Amino acid sequence: MKAFREILEFIIFEHKNIQLTVLGLFIIIFIFLVARLGLWALNKALNRSFSKKAISDPGRRHALMQIARYLIYTFAIAFSLENIGVDLDLVLTGSAALLVGVGFGLQHTFNDFFSGVIILFDGSIEVGDVVQVGELIGRIKRIGIRATTIHTRESFTVIVPNSKFTQENVINWSHNNEVTRFQVNVGVAYGSDVELVMRLMNDVAKAHPKISKTPAPVVRFADFADSALLFEVFFWTHDSFNVEFIKSDIRIKIDAEFRQHNVKIPFPQRDLHIISDQR
């Protein structure tokens, strides 16, 4: 028994007031095991809670788990440092001036950090959402504490600093909406049957399997252009991530229907007046 106690009290590392023994090492390992177990139990509880409410929202679960992970591991590290004799109050007091100096040099990093906390808390952007930041369009795969990972239509993975989402205008195509509206523009020759054109465009949109039936597609006579009558077909879809392929399908079908019904899509036209000199 005495030998076992001596093993537990064996000092692995010692510096001033800091002392790490075998027993202390086991306590630190136990603290982190408890933290992991707590996160596992919390994840199970969240899954059950969301299932009972019939809510399938991986983004919200991810945000809650990320916040819980940061908090639990922060407390685990603090308890571990206290266990080996580190005075956290003294460390925080002594490093305050250093943190101020480092803060000026790493202000963008801190900005991204706090932006990540804001994103995780407010839930305006979640995992699985299709977003547009500037010219970048993609689906959010992961929200980290400093950056967010976006998977683009070109199958690229882009790491975007979180401050981009809090300081710039962000279009969230899938947040709070089951379907998103898009449009395809078509110009036909002057003299075409307007009602026929609108009916053909509407039939093509309604026939596409990925276009929502409710709300139904709508066709609008947009304007009289220089060389064509302009029409727009508006449609709603759940598959906003692949909407460019849906637009392509609609254009192909509209072109086929126009050819079959002899509706012309005109080339740009210009009238040229030549004044000759009689001399």
- The whole-model pTM stands at 0.61
Q: Is the dihedral of CA 121, 142, 246, 191 positive or negative?
A: positive
Same domain, yes or no, for 210 and 194?
Answer: yes
Please report the pLDDT score of residue 266 as a whole number.
87
Residue 128, domain member (yes or no)? yes
104 pLDDT exceeds 60? no
Instruction: Tell me the pLDDT of the chain averaged across its residues.
Output: 81
Question: Which residue type is seen at 60?
Answer: R
145 pairs with which residues across the strands? none
Pairing between β-strand 157-161 and β-strand 229-237 as defined by DSSP bridges? unpaired
Residue 153, domain member (yes or no)? yes
Same domain, yes or no, for 153 and 209?
Answer: no
Give how many domains the chain has, as a whole number.
3
Same domain, yes or no, for 79 and 127?
Answer: no
Residue 40, domain member (yes or no)? yes
149 pairs with which residues across the strands? 142, 159
Helix axes 96-105, 107-122, angle to 10 degrees: 90
What are the structure tokens assigned to 1, written together? 């028994």
Residue 207, domain member (yes or no)? yes
Identify which has the larger pLDDT, 132 or 74.
Answer: 132
**Final residue in a domain of this structure, among 133, 154, 172:** 172
226 pLDDT exceeds 90? no
Same domain, yes or no, for 131 and 70?
Answer: no
What are the tens digits of pLDDT across the range 5-27? 666 666 666 666 677 777 778 88
Same domain, yes or no, for 222 and 143?
Answer: no
Distance CA 55, CA 49 (A): 9
Residue 106, domain member (yes or no)? no
Residue 109, domain member (yes or no)? no
pLDDT band of 73, cuts 50, 70, 90: confident
What are the structure tokens assigned to 239, written together? 């598959």
Overall average pLDDT of the 191-208 stretch: 95
Instruction: Give me the domain span that covers residue 153.
Output: 122-172
**CB-based burial, 243-256: b 16+ in 10 Å, e otherwise:** beebbebbeebbee
Please report the pLDDT score of residue 57 as a whole number.
55
What are the structure tokens assigned to 29, written together? 């390992």
Please report the pLDDT score of residue 128 as a whole number.
85
Residue 73, number of CB atoms within 10 A of its CB: 14
Same domain, yes or no, for 152 and 200?
Answer: no
Residue 146, domain member (yes or no)? yes
CATH code: domain of residue 246: 3.30.70.100
Please report the pLDDT score of residue 122 as a whole number.
76
Overall average pLDDT of the 155-166 stretch: 90
Same domain, yes or no, for 87 and 148?
Answer: no
Same domain, yes or no, for 11 and 38?
Answer: yes
Of 88-97, 111-120, 237-246, the least confident:
88-97
Question: Which residue type is seen at 243?
Answer: V
Same domain, yes or no, for 13 and 89?
Answer: yes
Same domain, yes or no, for 221 and 146?
Answer: no
**Final residue in a domain of this structure, among 130, 151, 172:** 172
Answer yes or no: are the C-beta atoms of 61 and 39 closer than 8 Å: no
What are the tens digits of pLDDT across the range 258-274? 999 999 988 776 667 77
CATH code: domain of residue 134: 2.30.30.60
Same domain, yes or no, for 18 and 82?
Answer: yes
Overall average pLDDT of the 116-138 stretch: 84
Residue 105, domain member (yes or no)? no
Identify which has the larger pLDDT, 131 or 121.
Answer: 131
Residues in the chain: 279
Overall average pLDDT of the 47-72 stretch: 66
pLDDT band of 55, cuts 50, 70, 90: very low
Same domain, yes or no, for 158 and 187?
Answer: no
91 pLDDT exceeds 70? no
